[in-house]
Structure 1
């Protein structure tokens, strides 16, 4: 058995949670916020990098922009998927307008684009809006059982 490392979406603190303890009730040791809140957090470039590189929990990022109609249409489905996938997967959002360097580094060519990271590596990516059930299925098919 090994501990889980979970990065707080509020302060970026890295938290160690025992494997046997349900992560849903975990709180950040640095700022006190719940580690999983059932909705994806909008993150900065710095917090995105920390989530992907330091978390032992897989991370799904939705690269989006406020002016993008399909992005806005998919937002409620992404929120619903977060409620279903957390605490086994961290869902975050990255605004490509605010974080253009990260979007460029990720090779984003269209939005919305979802990228699934596991142990710091890209595992899968898909572009285009999806309903919640499809997001959940897509994530689960790309993660080890």
Structure 2
């Protein structure tokens, strides 16, 4: 496969992943990483790294639209961003020490759990609770 054709297929797949990620709130990496590893035989570590770089742009664009529409609690988002940044830095540091096969199993388990939770009936939550001061 030529590099141009590979780039075209990756771009089309990434477009679909970004669309699904913005519509569902699931990270585009849930689509991009399996696409790159299974269809294009890209090493899992490179696929994860490339996915993380692309998620920055995807998340920023989608977040701006959600904030503009008033669908976002910015204060909660800031707390989440701080925690996820620390987690991402920790995960990136650990990834170099974890065998690729273990990363693949972990990624597969996350995919299965995500599918399970997505297909379950949503839990009922009370709507008359007082607002949390942090929110």
- Please, what TM-score do these two structures have when normalized by structure 1? 0.26
Which has more radius of gyration? Answer: 2
- Please, what TM-score do these two structures have when normalized by structure 2? 0.27
Q: Which has the higher contact order (CA 8 A, sep 6+)?
A: 1
